[in-house]
Structure 1
């Protein structure tokens, strides 16, 4: 936690981004395992409001896949029409209707590599929606991949994406300390410096805390129980002085408890 850190501890908005999933089962074989991972992925980013699967009951393989996805909570929509693109058209109609509903998604996840969805993706982006596409290897149109850009993924990448999101979540948890923890480290560092006859200036104490406490390394902000956060070491010191935990005199830090014992 260095003193020139930019503020990173601002409170997030209480409203979560909303997600909707649309699966073209005629184009992409979404297994139960991958379907479960897809649902898990949305939990890292926001709130899933709907997950729809479009299938043709005239195709036994699609019915089997649909039954497994339905057990996970997907809403399965049968389009038993032999005409080409019938399920695609139904998916597009529902997706656009959802965009104009009373609770529209902020992000649309499309599971398909069909080039018929290029215009849908373009329309969604024109309306300010984020579009993420998952497709099956060997069954994706280049135009769809190009218009989606960096938010295009293959389905077999889902496990690695989950691992990356989990690691990121762990790192985010570890990048902050509670106020009480930080004050304990601060007091211990001051005591250590004084016992060795060292000065207790802010810079020295901050560096000493980094040396003494591995958990303090990499910290970007300290959270206080009132919801306030500190992203600068000087702000932490100021709060600790105000709370009577330490004393600042001539740019040197002293422990209040030690003052009382020496009095």
Structure 2
């Protein structure tokens, strides 16, 4: 007898594992380059649904803002507290909330060498899920390293993602973040207006591919949403920007609001 759950079960089995990143920036310094490599690495393990970076705005030892983080698909979690383990406690609290939420991660990537996160790793494994630790050389506790399902040093990321054909030979990632794609899009509209050209879909798409500021944009398929999915067409991307209120459509032309 054919199961009434057959088709839906097949669909579930084909879904990629959901991946979340928990980054302790006080233990492993955060940079945009590392973040892009980390996102590529996460997507090689499944589908990245969340990237959280924990920092203390009062410490003065971080060189990014929440706006910078958002542009590359990460969320900044500021823990401005003088207590030593405040950021660690917040990271653990968020992890527990995620694991019991609507989209619990199948794979948790902990970017830290702090031994306190052994509890997180063991909890993830207890739930029959995977825990990956990525740490800085010379700054990792052995008790954390040995319990992880997979362990890597952060300087290994370029090789890890290039081996899976996620990064191009020239060292540039083969995608562009959604926010950067929107900026590239707006730049193309302004260029068309300045040059006295129409702002139809085809012209704007062509100008975006010619952008010097955003060389990673090579078509709508290279736009990388924070959840790892892609737009099915350029028109769908334009519709998303319209929904944001940044542009409007008029007589088959794209206009800035």
Q: In the alignment, which residue of structure 2 is the partner of 1:94?
A: 94
**Root-mean-square deviation (Å):** 2.1
Change (3 A) 1:136 1:68: farther
1:162 matched to 2:161: yes
5+ residue gaps in structure 1?
A: 1-10, 168-263
Is the helix fraction higher in 1 or 2?
A: 1
The CA distance in 1 between the partners of 2:28 and 2:118, in whole Å, is 16
Structure 1 position 35, deviation (Å): 0.7
Matches within 5 A, 1:136-147: 136-147=136-147
> Helix, strand or coil: the match of 1:143?
helix
What's the CA shift string for 1:135-174, capped at 9, x where partnerless?
A: 001111011011115x00000000010121128xxxxxxx
The CA distance in 2 between the partners of 1:25 and 1:73, in whole Å, is 16
Q: How many correspondences in the alignment?
A: 157
Q: Contact (CA 8 Å) 2:19, 2:43: kept in 1 or not?
A: no
The CA distance in 2 between the partners of 1:69 and 1:91, in whole Å, is 17
Q: Contact (CA 8 Å) 1:57, 1:63: kept in 2 or not?
A: no
What's the CA shift string for 1:39-70, capped at 9, x where partnerless?
A: 11222232111110110000222253766434
Question: When the two structures are superposed, what TM-score results if normalisation uses the length of structure 1?
Answer: 0.56
The CA distance in 2 between the partners of 1:134 and 1:158, in whole Å, is 9
Question: When the two structures are superposed, what TM-score results if normalisation uses the length of structure 2?
Answer: 0.57
Q: Structure 1 segments of 4 or more deviating over 2 A?
A: 11-14, 42-45, 63-71
- Structure with bigger RCO (C-alpha 8 Å, 6+ apart): 1
The CA distance in 2 between the partners of 1:25 and 1:54, in whole Å, is 6
Q: In the alignment, which residue of structure 2 is the partner of 1:148?
A: 148
Q: Contact (CA 8 Å) 2:112, 2:136: kept in 1 or not?
A: yes
Computing the radius of gyration over CA atoms, which structure comes out larger, 1 or 2?
1
**Range with bigger deviation, 137-146 or 59-68:** 59-68
